[in-house]
Structure 1
Amino acid sequence: MKVLLVSTYDLGHQPFGLASPAAWLKQAGADVRCLDLAVEEFGEDAAVDARMVAIHVPMHTATRLAETIIRRIRELNPAAHICCFGLYAPANADWLRKLGVNSIVGGEFEGPLTGLYRRLDGGEVGSHEAVHISFDKQVFLRPDRRGLPPLDRYVRLIRSDDRRGVVGYTEASRGCKHHCRHCPVVPVYDGRFRIVQRRVVMADIRHLVAQGAEHITFGDPDFFNGPGHAVATVRELHAEFPELTYDVTIKIEHLLAHAGRLPVLKETGCLFVTTAVESVEDRILALLDKGHVRADFVQAASLCRQYGIDLSPTFIPFTPWTTIRGYVDLLATVDQLGLVDSLSPIQLAIRLLVPRGSRLRDLEEWQEHEGPFDEAALSYGWVHPDPSVEGLYATVRDIVANSEEAGIGRRAVFSAIWQAAHDALGRRAPPLTAPHHRPRPPYMSEAWYCCAEPTDHQLARLRGDSGLT
């Protein structure tokens, strides 16, 4: 039986979310084809031939982009069983059903997808299946990346000396122990996390290196959810591939709790750590239940600098509780900590998304702002009570989107946002701190972000360039 696995967007990486289930499905006997619409054109023949189509929706941007693809596949192949799987599938099950999706899988998806394939092959599946969220402790297979575009068609690491390195992406764990109110992992995993066996992680890394990878991104929601597993993994990585570098995501709380492990990261080739700061206002951090305060962010930045690891912060600067003064303070803090060149500009234009199942909806402070659920945006709507904040959001988003298309550097974009924020505050913008005399931080060539709205270019590419309507 023919199975088509589809990815719409995976932050510029070769999609692990296709490669991993591909291995399981092929082992079960499926004739699998993978299609990554971030870098490939939509092929109607693949959609027409498939009995089962599984579309990966791991994040907001990918899910928004999936709408056009689902509609088109349903037009081309009315008999196909369409499944959506990933973090955003269960929360958006009703909307996906309306688009023509037959089954929804969340959590640990490889086993359920394989089970679905076997039932379809045996004629045991009806037109719709119940939402399936699995927390099984799976014994993983090495992802099968055959049939995916080569790594040189994906995101590149821009090193401090401007050399561009080929990047591979893998995962050593899934889920998260924590319950941050705004996080899309929480409604699915609810404090659970699952380990990918180290032998499987290393087998995947070997395969990625053989494909040309010079740097590995670990896509775990938090690399230090299982710090022992994490450290053992990077020690083995470095012992086998001493020239290979990598990056990880670790929350502020874990950077401080496991500060003694940071030297190991540096010694084993970690170039930078992405961390979800979200805000520098303690009140907002408490509402988000982040588990850290502003002073913790400052301390974490100092620790990473001490150990020679660049810190790449992420933010949700536009919330119902944001003020113009608070936004300016965020920019000033980034500048004072010497993180301007470490910050992807899109981080200054992120607007709070509140999908179905979000713990934010439990807060009285949120309920007074909540509007109707917007199916087009996959979020409960909200409008800031201060129109000037809405105006600043629109200005910053335009600056970031236009700068991305024009290839303008991070510091220049930050300067433009700095000026716009002070204009909104009605103050003259003071000079920014001069750049530190140290190598520019490494960063990825793909600047967009999982919790950002898709750009007009991303939407147009799927609707137009790929021949979709």
Structure 2
Amino acid sequence: MQVLLLSTYDMGRQPFGLASPAAWLREAGIEVACADLSKDRLPQEAVRAAGMIAFFLPMHTATRLALPVIDRVRGLNSTARLVAYGLYAPLNAPLLRDRGVEEILGGEFEAALVEIASRGTAAPALATASALPTPSVARLKFKVPDRAGLPTLSRYAGLQVDGEKRVAGYTEASRGCKHRCRHCPIVPVYDGRFRIVAPEIVLADARAQVAAGARHITFGDPDFFNGIRHARAVVEGFARELPGVTYDVTIKVEHLLQHADALPLLRATGCAFITSAVEAVDDRVLGLLEKGHSRADFQRAVTLCARVGVPLSPTFVAFTPWTTIESYRDFLGEIDRLNLVEHVAPIQYAIRLLVTDKSRLLELDEIRRLVKRFDPVSLTYPWVHPDPQVDRLHATVSAIVGVRTTAPRADVFARVWAAAHADAEKPLHWQQPVLTARAAIPYLTEPWYC
């Protein structure tokens, strides 16, 4: 059987979710083709030739983009078995089933893809096509991803640093997360569990990408410090085997404080910056989201990272049902007070809370009262803010960050600040302080968001 693996979007990076299962399938003797539709057109001949077509759905945007592609693929090949895998596949199982997807996989999907491909066109052995999926989080013995046939790394987002763009790669040292933040899409699949990838596999993948031109590697783990001893082993090996190559990681505020003694090791081994999903500076909102940190904790984490010399790049959910005009102004003020204007990607000022199917947000009575019926187009439970002024501000901020994608971050912040204070009794004008030069703070050329 020929297998075609498809990705629609993976945040501007070469899809790990194609390369990893490709290695498993090829080792099993199965012919595999991969296509990244964010870079290339749908390969119609490969679609027609495939006996199994699998869609990688790691995120919300990727899933929305995949829906019309699924319809088109079904039109080109009505007999191929359609599979969806990745975090957002089980979250949207009924909708995918309605479109003809027979197999829904989440969590640890590689072994299941091999099993499905190996059984050919026979009927599913253990479940009917209408059955709800049970995402596997079984411990797998991971293999080195096989990136043959994927677009070159130079076609993807890179690291901007010191006035130059460096080719960037991507790998994962762990999957899942041992935390259960209420709004996180990982939780319905992993439910507080995480799985580590053997350091030798991680480093082999990094070496292969460096050999292909990468000078920077993003570790895409939901939280790099979920397993601190594992993290130490990975970065020590990384620095030893790939001197001069930088990397970035994502770490919870809680773990930055808990493992503050590990931050100098990150600096010494080439960490260019740390992403942290701070989400809010309002302690009530942080409590509702069950983030595990407070505003004061965030402030301490900023100080720790600055002291060590590793820039912190926080991400936020700026607009929630609990956001007020005053709290949004306070949010901007905190970014200013902490000298983070140049650290925050402008898109973060406009991120609005998504309420997806199976989200733990639906445990909250006020969320259940607020949301409307599930929308199969947006793949969310839509909600309207109780204060129309907040939704109008969100629309204004979205327009500002959407049309000024290459503008200096301080300029965008100033416009967002002005919009947030436009209706104030005494409008405050933001005065740009003497800031660190933008070039001195590394960042990926495609910002992280859902």
* TM-score normalised over the length of structure 1: 0.93
The corresponding residue for 2:58 is: 58
SS for the counterpart of 1:225 is coil
In the alignment, which residue of structure 2 is the partner of 1:335? Answer: 336
CA deviations on 1:426-469 (whole Å, 9 max, x unpaired) are 5413223413346631111113x442xxxxxxxxxxxxxxxxxx
Q: Secondary structure at the match of 1:417?
A: helix
Match in the other structure for 1:349: 350
CA distance in 1, matches of 2:436, 2:143: 45
Report the counterpart of residue 275 of structure 1 in structure 2: 276
- Greater shift, 17-26 or 43-52, is seen at 43-52
Q: Following superposition of structure 1 onto structure 2, how do residues 152-171 of structure 1 map, counting pairs within 5 Å?
A: 152-159=154-161, 161-171=162-172
Alignment match, 2:113: 113
Please report how far the alpha carbon of residue 128 of structure 1 lies from its aligned counterpart in structure 2 after TM superposition. 2.4
Partner of 2:5: 5
CA distance in 2, matches of 1:157, 1:380: 35
Secondary structure, aligned partner of 1:158: strand
> 1:132 offset after TM fit, Å?
4.2
How far is the alpha carbon of 1:368 from its aligned partner?
Answer: 2.6
Q: CA deviation at 1:71?
A: 0.8
Partner amino acid, structure 2, of 1:410: R
Query: How far is 1:241 from its partner?
Result: 1.3
In the other structure, the counterpart of 2:414 is 415
Listed as ranges, the matches of 1:25-36 within 5 Å are 25-36=25-36
- Cα gap change, 1:435 to 1:80, in 2 (>3 Å): farther
In structure 1, how many angstroms separate the alpha carbons of the residues matched to 2:319 and 2:124? 47
Whole-Å separation in 1 of the counterparts to 2:170 and 2:367: 36
8 A contact 1:336–1:433 mirrored in 2? no
Change (3 A) 1:370 1:123: closer
Residue equivalent to 1:143:
145
- 2-structure distance, mates of 1:349, 1:423: 17
For 1:172 and 1:427, how far apart are their aligned partners in 2? 50
Q: How far apart are residue 239 of structure 1 and its match?
A: 0.8
- 1:32 to partner: Cα distance: 0.4
- Deviation of 1:99 (Å): 1.7
Q: Which residue of 1 is the match for residue 93 of structure 2?
A: 93
For 2:205 and 2:228, the matched residues in 1 are separated by: 20
**Residue identity opposite 2:234 in structure 1:** T
Q: Alignment partner of 2:422: what SS?
A: helix
Whether the 8 Å contact between 2:81 and 2:121 is mirrored in structure 1 is: no
1:170-216 alpha-carbon deviations (Å, 9 max, x no partner): 00000000010000000100000000111100110110110011000
The answer to whether the Cα contact below 8 Å between 1:104 and 1:129 also exists between their aligned partners in 2 is no
Q: 1 CA distance for matches of 2:190 and 2:387?
A: 35
2:315 aligned partner = 314
Shift of 1:319: 0.6
- Which residue of structure 2 lines up, in the alignment, with residue 436 of structure 1? 435
CA distance in 2, matches of 1:124, 1:289: 39
C-alpha spacing 1:166/1:256, structure 2 compared with 1 (3 Å): same
Shift of 1:22: 0.1
Partner of 1:222: 223
Distance 2:449 2:108 in 1: 19
CA distance in 2, matches of 1:304, 1:321: 29
Task: Single out whichever of 25-34 and 246-255 deviates more from structure 2.
Answer: 25-34
Give the Å deviation of 1:153: 0.6
**Where do residues 31-42 of structure 1 align in structure 2 (5 Å cutoff)?**
31-42=31-42
Instruction: Supply the AA of the counterpart residue of 2:54.
Output: A
Asked if the contact 1:349/1:396 (under 8 Å) is kept, the reply is: yes
2:108–2:137 Cα contact (<8 Å) kept: yes
Deviation string 1:93-152 (CA, Å, 9 cap, x unpaired) is 001111221110011010111111111266766982742411111001100000001111
Distance between the aligned counterparts of 1:178 and 1:235, measured in 2? 25
Identity %: 53
Matched, 1:177 2:181: no
Per the alignment, in what secondary structure is the counterpart of residue 423 of structure 1? coil
CA distance in 1, matches of 2:175, 2:136: 12
CA distance in 2, matches of 1:323, 1:184: 25
User: Which deviates more from structure 2 when the two are superposed, residues 42-51 or residues 3-12?
Assistant: 42-51
> Contact 1:325–1:425 at 8 Å: present in 2 too?
no
Q: Secondary structure at the match of 1:147?
A: coil
C-alpha contact (below 8 Å) 2:414/2:430 kept by paired residues: no
Deviation, structure 1 residue 45? 1.0
Q: TM-score, normalised by structure 2?
A: 0.97
Query: What are the Cα deviations for residues 234-272 of structure 1, in whole angstroms up to 9, with x where unaligned?
Result: 001001111010000000000000000000000000010
> In the TM superposition, what whole-angstrom CA distance separates every residue of 1:298-347 from its partner, at most 9, and x where no partner exists?
00000000000000000001111100110111111111111111111111
2:377 is the alignment partner of 1:382: no
Distance (Å, rounded) in 1 between the aligned partners of 2:386 and 2:22: 47
Contact kept in structure 2, 1:57 and 1:86, CA below 8 Å? yes
1:216-245 CA-partner distances (Å, limit 9, x unpaired): 000000000001101110001001111010
Structure 2 residue matching 1:6: 3-state secondary structure: strand
Whole-Å Cα distance in 1 between the matches of residues 16 and 58 of structure 2? 11
How far the C-alpha of 1:410 sits from its partner, in A, is: 1.6
The one-letter code matched in structure 1 to 2:232 is: V
Q: Which has the higher contact order (CA 8 A, sep 6+)?
A: 1
Describe the superposition over 1:3-51 as per-residue Cα deviations: whole angstroms up to 9, x where unpaired: 0000111111110000000000111111100000111112211111111
Question: Counterparts of 2:180 and 2:442 in 1: how far apart (Å)?
Answer: 30
Question: What is the one-letter code of the residue matched to 1:303?
Answer: L
> Structure 1 residues 387, 124: CA separation in 2 closer, same or farther (over 3 Å shift)?
closer
User: Which ranges in structure 2 are unaligned for 5 or more consecutive residues?
Assistant: none
Residue pair 1:61, 1:450 contacting (<8 A) in 2 also: no
Identify which range, 94-103 or 226-235, moves more after superposition.
94-103
- Change in CA separation of 1:426 and 1:188 when aligned onto 2, cut-off 3 Å: farther
Q: State the partner residue of 1:394.
A: 395
Which structure 1 segments of 5+ residues have no match? 452-469
Letter in 1 for 2:296: A
| Corresponding residue number in structure 1 for 2:326 | 325
The residue aligned with 1:458 is: none
Single out whichever of 142-151 and 93-102 deviates more from structure 2: 93-102
CA RMSD of aligned residues (A): 1.4
Counterpart of 2:21, as a letter, is P
User: Where does residue 191 of structure 2 map in the other structure?
Assistant: 190
Separation in 2, partners of 1:247, 1:5? 27
Q: How many residues align?
A: 447
CA distance in 2, matches of 1:351, 1:326: 14
